[in-house]
Structures are given as structure tokens and as C-alpha cells.
Amino acid sequence: MLLRNTYNEFIKIIAKPRSYIGLGVLTALIFVILFAMKADGTSFVSFVTASFEQTLSFNGNILNGNLIAFIILQMLIVHIPLLVALVTGDLISGEAAMGTIRMLATKPISRTNIVLSKFIAGAVYTLILTLWLAFLALVVVKWMFGTGDLIVLNSSGLIILQEQDIMWRYLCSFFVAYLALLTVSSLSICLSAFAENSIGPIVSTMGIIILFTIIGSMDVTVFDSIKKFLFTTHMASWRSFFEDPVKMKNIWESIVILVVHNILLVAIAIIKFNKKDITS
């Protein structure tokens, strides 16, 4: 029954116009970034490298597909959660608002399976968004701008990664980024189990992300003990793959925390939905 309802969930997601908003917005944003880079990318890169030009000499094509893919990932990973929540936040509460949850819950499928099938469908939708982002960033951008070494500026300074040492880092980065987005998906599905309308869970998801991000960025001792347990702290862990050497311990820690978040959020959604009186 889980597979049958998961198949149904895919049919619903495919048929809903809002499912295409994410893909459309993502594509539009990437092409805006590409247009900006094509038009004025050199001065953008000069602005970043200016402070190093007295000590270093940069040769070759710095403004290449690898750098732009990195910029895209950095810029959009903050905004994609909204696109994810737009669809996943509606999965349970949207049915409550429409009244179809009543029909669904009177069928011979357990409520646990209803939530799990929605989680799987949400996970696949999030994967599609991530893969689309990866395709545009790694295939289309490289086709337009070519490849080359990647210059990354991070807290420890300027890192230059060689062209042949980059692709595996991107693949691992997209995996961790997917895990972070999956947590957003689970959060909005969890909130969706508490709500009776679509907007509430979407807005609440974004509110929680903003709140946690602010707590994570505040340099206040009182928050230090909780910062590493906030999933938002680990949403940027994909960047760790662009350090040299890669700090695998930190990455594994992020992966564990994100996976635990996903399990907890889905468990809360299942418990809540099982106990819920459906009165809509």
C-alpha cells in the first residue's frame, strides 16, 4: 500500500502547477546569474582577487564554469529551501484544506503509510530540484564558460583546486546539499501535519530557517552549545568539500545531524498525524 500511495503522490505532484514553479524559478535565477557573469563577470572576479594581486599572479581562465557553478551553488542554496517548502509544505495540509485528506484517511491505508509516502514523494521532488540545479550548474554552465582550475576564497584564505580535482567535490557537495534540502522537506511535511492550510507550513518553515540561521550567525556564548545541533548550521557543509584538505570529520558530523533531523521530523509527523482527529 505504501508503494501504491507513493505512486499516487507522484501523480499529484506532477499534476500540480506549483511543482513547476521551483524548476522554473531555479532555471530563471541561474540564467540571470549566467547573463550577469557573461556581461560583467571579469570585474566580479577582479573584485574578489584584487586583494591578492600584489602577491599573486593569476593566469588562464579564472572565470570558468567551475567558478560559476560554485557561485551558483553558494547563492541559490539559501533560496532553494523556499522552493522545496512550496511543494512539500502543501503535501498534508493542502489535502486538509482541499478536504481530500478525509477521503484518503477513510481508505485501507495506515496513516503512517500516508505520511511515509508523502515523505518519499517530497524526497524525490527535492532530488529532482537538486539534480536540475546540478545539471544547469555543471553541464550547461561548463558548456557556456568552459572549464578550468577553481579559485575558492574561504575563511582559511584562497584555495586553488586543479581542474581534474573538482568534479568529485561537486558530486559530494550536491549530495550534502541534497541532504540539507531533504531536511527542509521533512520539516515542512512535519509542520504540514499540524496545519489545516497550505500557507502556514510554508511560512513557518521559512521562519524557522531564518530564525536558526540568525541564531547560528550570532556570536553570542549563550547560543554556542545549541549552534551545532541546528540543521541550518549544516546546510552550508557542502562548502567543506572545497577545502584542502577536506575536513571529513566535520562533514560526517553534518551528515549525521541532518539524517537524525530527518528521522525525528518524520517521526513527529507520523505521531501527530496518527493522533489527529480529522474534522475538516
Partner 1 sequence: MDGPIIEVKNLSKKFGTFEAVKDVSFTVNKGDVFGFLGPNGAGKSTTIRCMLSLIAPNSGTIAIFGKNLANHRSQILNNIGCIIEKPDFYRYLSAEKNLEIFARISGRDSSKKEIQEMLEFVGLDGRGKDKVKGFSHGMKQRLGIAQTLLHKPDLIILDEPTTGLDPQGIIEVRNLILRLKTEQQKTVLLSSHQLSEIEIIANRMVIINKGKSMIEGSVDALVNEQDLLLQINVSDYQNAMQAIELEFPALQVKHLHGSMIEMAVEKEMVAKMNYFLVNKGFSIHSLEPKRKLEDFFMKIIQE
Half-sphere exposure of 130 (CA within 13 A, CB side): 23
Nearer to partner 1, 9 or 149 (CB): 9
Return the HEC string of the chain.
CHHHHHHHHHHHHHHCCCHHHHHHHHHHHHHHHHHHHHHHHHHHHHHHHHHHCCCCCCCCCCCCHHHHHHHHHHHHCCCHHHHHHHHHCCCCHHHHHHCHHHHHHCCCCCHHHHHHHHHHHHHHHHHHHHHHHHHHHHHHHHHHHCCCCEEEEECCEEEEECHHHCHHHHHHHHHHHHHHHHHHHHHHHHHHHHCCCCHHHHHHHHHHHHHHHHHHHCCCHHHHHHHCCCHHHHCCHHHHHHCCCCCHHHHHHHHHHHHHHHHHHHHHHHHHHHHCCCCC
Whole-number minimum distance, CB 117 to partner 1, in Å? Answer: 9
Nearer to partner 1, 104 or 172 (CB): 104
Whole-number minimum distance, CB 23 to partner 1, in Å? Answer: 17
Whole-number minimum distance, CB 89 to partner 1, in Å? Answer: 17
Locate 28 and state its grid cell: 530563471
Nearer to partner 1, 25 or 278 (CB): 278
Nearer to partner 1, 221 or 279 (CB): 279
**Chain residues that interact with partner 1, rule: CB under 8 A:** 1, 4-5, 7-8, 11-12, 15-17, 98-100, 102-110, 275, 277-279
Whole-number minimum distance, CB 210 to partner 1, in Å? Answer: 30
Nearer to partner 1, 173 or 198 (CB): 198
Whole-number minimum distance, CB 109 to partner 1, in Å? Answer: 5
Whole-number minimum distance, CB 105 to partner 1, in Å? Answer: 6
Contact indicator for 243, 159 with CB cutoff of 8 Å? yes
How many angstroms separate the Cα of 280 from the Cα of each of 14, 126, 248? 25, 28, 48
Nearer to partner 1, 107 or 247 (CB): 107
Whole-number minimum distance, CB 174 to partner 1, in Å? Answer: 31
Nearer to partner 1, 98 or 159 (CB): 98
